[in-house]
Structure 1
Amino acid sequence: MFFSQAGARPQMWEVSPSEHKKWVEVFKACDEDNKGYLSREDFKVAVVMLFGYKPSKIEADSVMSSVDPNTSGILLEGFLNIVRQKKEVQLYRNEIRHIFTAFDRHYRGYLTLEDFTKAFRQVAPKLPERIILEVFREVDQDSDGHVSFKDFEYAMNYGQNCFQRQNRVP
C-alpha cells in the first residue's frame, strides 16, 4: 500500500522535562495513601487528569493485566511508559487528522478521487494515475466513492503496521 512507503508515524517523541514532571505529579496526586503504586481507580483518575476522558473497562483491564503480579498496582515507571505510549498515539492520530484535512480541500469530511489526485500530484507528481486510483480504491473500503476519516485513519495505521513488519530486524 502507498501509505506504508511514506512511513507516516513520527519518530520517537521526546518527553519534555516539564511534561515528565507533570506526569510524576499526577501519579503522586492519584496515589492515595502514598502506597507507591496506582490502583485501578487511581489509574482512571490519572487518565482523566492527563487526557480528559475516563478509560473504558477494556482499557483499564488491559493496563491492569500488564501489572506485575507481585505488586498491587501500576508503579511509577510503568505509569510513565503507559502515558508516553498514549501521548504518542494521540500525537500520531492528530497527525493523521492533519493530513486528512489537507487532502479535504472542500471541508466535506470525506475525500473523493479528485481530492486524492490533486494531493498526490503535489507530493508525487510522477506517480502514475493508475497507482493513485488503486490507492483510492483500497482506502475506500465501502466502495462508495468517498473516503471518510475513519477509512483514511485505518489505511494509515494498516500501512504503518505493514511498513514496520517489512522493516523489522530479525
Structure 2
Amino acid sequence: LSFWNVLSTPPVFEACDEDNKGYLSREDFKVAVVILFGYKPSKVEVDSVMASAQPNNSGISIEMFLNLMNTKKAAQLYHSEMRQIFTAFDMQCKGFLTLEDFRKAFSIVVPKLPERIILEAFR
C-alpha cells in the first residue's frame, strides 16, 4: 500500500489540482478517481467526500485525499484477494461453494483441521 501511495497518489493529486490551488475541487476529485480507479464516482460518493471536507475549505486537501485513496485502495485489494480465494475454492467454476469444495480446499491447506471447524466456517 505505501508503495502505491508514494508512487501514484501525490502525482495524481498534483496533476488534478487545477491552477495549483493546494486542494481538489469537486471536478478535480472526479478526475483523480477516474485516473486511479478507472471509474467515474457517483454524485452520492462525491457529495459524501465533499461534505467531509472542512467547511471553510474549498475542496479536498492532499492529506484528506491520501487518506481517502489509501482506504479505497485497501478495500479494492481486499475485494480482489477475496475473489481470488473464492475462485480457488470454486474448483468447478460453479459460481458458488459447496461443503465438499470447502472440505477439499481445507484438506489441501490444513489437512488435520477438525471437521467441526470446517462446518462452522462453511456456515
Q: How many residues align?
A: 123
Cross-structure match for 2:60: 74
The yes-or-no answer on 1:96 pairing with 2:82 is: yes
After superposition, the C-alpha distances for 1:45-97 in whole angstroms (9 at most, x for unaligned) are 10001110011222212211211112111011111111111111111111111
TM-score normalised by the chain length of structure 2? 0.87
Cross-structure match for 2:32: 46
TM-score normalised by the chain length of structure 1? 0.65
Q: Which amino acid in structure 1 is aligned with residue 9 of structure 2?
A: W
Taking the aligned partners of 1:76 and 1:23, their CA distance within structure 2 comes to 9
Q: Which SS does the other structure have where 2:46 is aligned?
A: helix
Relative contact order: is structure 1 or structure 2 higher (C-alpha 8 Å, sep ≥ 6)?
Answer: 1
For structure 1, the residue ranges without an aligned partner over 5 or more in a row are: 1-12, 139-170
- The ranges of structure 1 where at least 4 consecutive aligned residues each deviate by more than 3 angstroms after the TM superposition are none
Q: Which amino acid in structure 1 is aligned with residue 76 of structure 2?
A: Q
Q: Which SS does the other structure have where 1:47 is aligned?
A: helix
Q: 1:60 aligns with which of 36, 46, 54?
A: 46
Tell me the CA shift for residue 22 of structure 1: 2.8
Once superposed, what is the RMSD of the aligned Cα atoms? 1.8
More helix by share: 2
Taking the aligned partners of 1:133 and 1:57, their CA distance within structure 2 comes to 42
The yes-or-no answer on 1:36 pairing with 2:22 is: yes
Q: 2:114 aligns with which of 128, 132, 136?
A: 128
Identity, % of aligned positions: 65
Cross-structure match for 2:99: 113
For structure 2, the residue ranges without an aligned partner over 5 or more in a row are: none
